[in-house]
């Protein structure tokens, strides 16, 4: 009797192991089949301001993108008060994109330059004031009202059937252009007993060092508040961010601690802006970003086509895609749609990207 029970138990165990192995292999297959992210930063200026003509242009471009497997678009100026088109550009992007399996991520850029003359008549207290008291054309991300403004804009966008929120210029201006307005300085002083105006402006001062770190925390607070707004919406929307290539200098010079964002899951992916024609540096910085992000956050290297830092060739763009894959990146993003022209697209389609038609067979 005991031998029978042992035999049955042994058979059950074997069956359980076999099922477990099959299930694990099935899951692994599903993971491996997850499509590579191929994204493009897309400017509204690519299209006509006239709705009917813009629709035809979007149809044409999105068909081209689908043919090489572009499956995500990070879109600038999607809101009506950003583009002043008189029609719903974001809704059209969503309709045309989703028809082709392309995900749409509206871009928000909190630290980008503003119209200084206009802002001085509207919200001067929101602007950065330099150490001499001069107004700068950028919002102060340490200001709670500024952060609330961006949260409200993002909340409005979450009413649409969007796939993601994408953050660009999620930082202070270059370099160390933090705000020395009275409210910011007094807020900092409550915590550290000194205003940044009262200490030496070098790393020999511990208060100055804390001032640098404190400003980075304000940017992180905004990212966390955006993450919370997405959570409250109840929608399955991913959060991505464009980040400067080098972590250490980013934290000090622009207040961008993207390592913390990745480690704590504040963002779902980062796009380090690796705009270079130097393949050795490109590889090095991809490796660094992937190591820093670990398994908490995906990395999609930003490949610059025509930027203020580089003008790439068709051979180099192909090599940077290969490097991204070899280093374990889950995808890549191209900056930008304005320069991602036929020559570049054809190079990738012929050499590296299967067309959608090919991949379905």
Cα separation of 272 and 255, whole Å? 15
Instruction: Give pLDDT, residue 249.
Output: 96
Instruction: Give pLDDT, residue 21.
Output: 45
Write out the two tokens for 343: 């020559």
Mean pLDDT of 194-214: 96
Instruction: Give pLDDT, residue 18.
Output: 47
For residue range 160-174, list pLDDT tens digits in order: 999 999 999 999 999
Domain 38-359 in CATH: superfamily? Glycosidases (3.20.20.80)
Write out the two tokens for 241: 């961010």
Task: Give yes or no for residue 177 having a pLDDT over 60.
Answer: yes
Burial 138-156 (b: 16+ CB within 10 A, else e): bbbbbbeebbeebbebbee
Q: What is the mean pLDDT of the chain?
A: 91
- Asked if 225 contacts 151 with a C-beta cutoff of 8 angstroms, the reply is yes
Name the CA dihedral angle for 229, 337, 321, 28, rounded to a multiple of 10 degrees.
40
Residue indicated by tokens 């190079």: 347
Instruction: Give pLDDT, residue 209.
Output: 97
pTM listed for this prediction: 0.89
Close Cβ partners of 318 (under 8 Å, ≥ 6 residues apart)? 347, 348, 351, 352
For residue range 39-85, list pLDDT tens digits in order: 999 999 999 999 999 999 999 999 999 999 999 999 999 999 999 99
Q: Quick one: residue 41, left, alpha or beta (phi over 0 = left, psi -120 to 50 = alpha)?
A: beta
Task: Give yes or no for residue 352 having a pLDDT over 80.
Answer: yes
- Asked if 88 contacts 80 with a C-beta cutoff of 8 angstroms, the reply is yes
- Asked if 255 contacts 171 with a C-beta cutoff of 8 angstroms, the reply is yes
């Amino acid at each position: 009797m005991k031998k029978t029970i042992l035999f049955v138990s042994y058979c059950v165990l074997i069956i359980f192991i076999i099922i477990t192995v099959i299930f694990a292999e099935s899951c692994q297959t599903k993971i491996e089949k997850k499509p590579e992210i191929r994204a493009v930063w897309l400017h509204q200026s690519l299209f006509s301001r006239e709705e009917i003509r813009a629709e035809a242009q979007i149809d044409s471009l999105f068909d081209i993108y689908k043919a090489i497997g572009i499956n995500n678009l990070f879109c600038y100026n999607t809101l009506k008060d950003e583009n002043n088109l008189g029609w719903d550009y974001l809704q059209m992007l969503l309709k045309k994109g989703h028809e082709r399996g392309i995900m749409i991520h509206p871009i928000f850029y909190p630290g980008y330059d503003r119209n200084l003359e206009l802002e001085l008549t509207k919200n001067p207290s929101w602007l950065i004031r330099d150490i001499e008291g001069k107004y700068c054309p950028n919002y102060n991300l340490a200001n709670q009202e500024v952060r609330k403004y961006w949260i409200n804009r993002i909340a409005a966008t979450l009413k649409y059937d969007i796939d993601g929120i994408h953050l660009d210029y999620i930082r202070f201006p270059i370099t160390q252009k933090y705000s020395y307005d009275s409210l910011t300085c007094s807020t900092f002083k409550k915590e550290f007993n000194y205003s940044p105006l009262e200490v030496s402006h070098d790393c020999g001062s511990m208060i100055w060092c804390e001032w640098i770190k404190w400003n980075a925390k304000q940017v992180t607070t905004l990212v966390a508040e955006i993450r919370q707004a997405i959570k409250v919406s109840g929608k399955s929307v991913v959060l991505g961010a464009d980040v400067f290539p080098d972590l250490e200098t980013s934290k000090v010079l622009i207040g961008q601690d993207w390592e913390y964002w990745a480690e704590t899951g504040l963002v779902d992916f980062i796009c380090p802006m690796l705009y270079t024609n130097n393949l050795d540096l490109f590889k090095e910085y991809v490796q660094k970003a992937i190591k820093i992000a670990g398994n908490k956050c995906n990395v999609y290297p930003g490949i610059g086509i025509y930027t203020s830092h580089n003008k790439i060739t068709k051979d180099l763009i192909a090599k940077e895609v290969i490097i991204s894959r070899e280093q374990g990146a889950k995808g890549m993003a191209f900056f930008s749609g304005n320069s991602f022209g036929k020559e570049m697209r054809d190079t990738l389609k012929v050499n590296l990207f299967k067309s959608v038609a090919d991949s379905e067979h």
